[in-house]
Amino acid sequence: MTMQAIVLREHGGPDVLRSEALPVPEPGPGEVRVRIRAVALNHLDLWVRKGGPAFHLEYPHRLGSDIAGVVDAVGPGSATQVGSKVVVQPGLSCARCAACLGGHDNLCRFYRILGENTQGGYAEAIVVPEQNLAPYPERLDFAHAAASILPFLTAWQMVVHKARVAPGEDVLVQGAGSGIGVAAIQIAKLFGARVIATAGTDAKLARAKALGADEVINYTTTDFAAACRTLTGKRGVDAVIEHVGGEVFVASIKAVRNGGRIVTCGATAGFHPAIDLRHIFFRQIEVLGSTMGSKADLLAVLGHVAAGRLEPVIHEVLPLAEAARAHRILEDRAAFGRVVLAVGE
């Protein structure tokens, strides 16, 4: 049996994505096969497609970290019911080391992410460890369920565990239209913060306001660091949720208060900001790196999603065959929220 998949066999632009028929994978002990119904895109997909020294792929490679679907086969000893609707935790870990057993599986030295350094969800089916299945938020369709995973998981760790956001604090969320931005605004509001959000268009700022942002700043027309100082009585924000890098990271240092926290999970605008370290140590600013979140964090996120306290936002749903077009939408920064590929029925 074969399945349709979108694969890459070389790094490059969106045109390297091509449709191929691949064998349907069979689950082994401790594994299940998920018939994929939707897979949401992340900037990670773009980075892997473009290539870099960190990526060592087995071709043909399938991108896609955020998967929702239906279990259609199980390996020996599995307790999962065939026909169960599920979402998939995108982080794979050994489940045996001190980090995993301590609930910090995203610090496992063998940690991998679906679609990055192992095969992902741009296909009709995928085999994953049974431990990576998570409860399906029944109020949502498959596209919105897929849109609830990686950015909300990443933003949860950033806002809750790293930034330690508390009621009444001022939190600056960069890139409000991104998956991380959409999630971080909602999570920061859930924990009682005043949210200041940035975006590059007034239309995106209006959407950010509708999500709960208290103040919005157009970074193309306004110095957001100066605006944050004004909005906080020259004090600066308590925390910055940052995934842009480059000069935006440098300006974020100016926007945060003495003793404040900057949490970063990415660098879409550049990996090498020119930082004056005196600002870090004299002002006692905490700079915290963050990648993904634990399996327990995903369960917390999905509980809020199922209850309607967190809402995934979708920009557009496209068929799997239009993966290249979906990549172009992300690269053009045209999206507010997630771009999702629909798979199968």
- CA distance readout (Å), 304 to 102, 158, 298: 23, 16, 10
* pLDDT for 39: 98
Q: Are residues 53 and 86 in the same domain?
A: yes
Q: Is 184 helix (H, G, I), strand (E, B) or coil?
A: helix
* pLDDT for 334: 84
Q: Are residues 193 and 229 in the same domain?
A: yes
* pLDDT for 339: 97
Which of 77, 73, 85 is CA-nearest to residue 37?
Answer: 85
Q: Are residues 259 and 330 in the same domain?
A: no
Model confidence at 66, pLDDT cuts 50, 70, 90, reads very high
Whether pLDDT at 333 is above 90: no
CATH code, domain with 156: 3.90.180.10
Q: Are residues 197 and 273 in the same domain?
A: yes
Whether pLDDT at 70 is above 80: yes
Please report whether residue 299 resides in a domain.
no
Q: What is the pLDDT of residues 183-237, one digit of tens each?
A: 999 999 999 999 999 999 999 999 999 999 999 999 999 999 999 999 999 999 9
Q: Is there a contact between 173 and 191 (Cβ–Cβ < 8 Å)?
A: no
Give the integer Cα–Cα distance in Å for 164 and 212: 19
Q: What percent of the chain stands above pLDDT 70?
A: 100
Model confidence at 104, pLDDT cuts 50, 70, 90, reads very high
| Burial degree of 180 (CB within 10 A; 0-12, 13-18, 19+) | buried
Please report whether residue 304 resides in a domain.
no
* pLDDT for 155: 97
Please report whether residue 295 resides in a domain.
no
Model confidence at 246, pLDDT cuts 50, 70, 90, reads confident
Phi, psi dihedrals of residue 343, rounded to the nearest 5°? -125, 135
Domain tally for the chain? Answer: 2
Q: Are residues 191 and 272 in the same domain?
A: yes
What token pair was written down for 179?
Answer: 């998956």
Identify the residue whose tokens are 């029944």: 138
* pLDDT for 63: 98
Please report whether residue 217 resides in a domain.
yes
Q: What is the pLDDT of residues 14-25, one digit of tens each?
A: 999 999 999 999
* pLDDT for 229: 96
Whether pLDDT at 269 is above 80: no
Q: Are residues 170 and 128 in the same domain?
A: no
Give the integer Cα–Cα distance in Å for 267 and 249: 9
Give the integer Cα–Cα distance in Å for 222 and 127: 47
Q: Is there a contact between 6 and 313 (Cβ–Cβ < 8 Å)?
A: no
Model confidence at 86, pLDDT cuts 50, 70, 90, reads very high
What is the mean predicted confidence (pLDDT) over 20-35?
Answer: 96
Please report whether residue 301 resides in a domain.
no
Q: What is the pLDDT of residues 157-168, one digit of tens each?
A: 999 999 999 999
Identify the residue whose tokens are 């690269």: 331
Domain that holds residue 71: 2-148+312-342
Identify the residue whose tokens are 């870090």: 280
Which residues sit opposite 217 in a β-bridge?
Answer: 198
Q: Are residues 250 and 223 in the same domain?
A: yes
Q: Are residues 129 and 222 in the same domain?
A: no
The amino acid sitting at 254 is K
Which residues sit opposite 36 in a β-bridge?
Answer: 69
Mean pLDDT value across the chain: 95
* pLDDT for 161: 97
What is the mean predicted confidence (pLDDT) over 147-152?
Answer: 97
What token pair was written down for 309?
Answer: 């306290």
Q: Are residues 193 and 141 in the same domain?
A: no
The amino acid sitting at 289 is G
* pLDDT for 274: 86
Q: Are residues 14 and 131 in the same domain?
A: yes
Helix (H) or strand (E) holding 238: strand 237-242
Please report whether residue 294 resides in a domain.
no
What is the mean predicted confidence (pLDDT) over 75-87?
Answer: 94
What token pair was written down for 172?
Answer: 């600056």
Distance from first CA to last CA of the chain, Å, rounded? 18
| Burial degree of 28 (CB within 10 A; 0-12, 13-18, 19+) | exposed
Q: Are residues 31 and 100 in the same domain?
A: yes
Q: Are residues 223 and 245 in the same domain?
A: yes
Name the DSSP letter for residue 157.
I
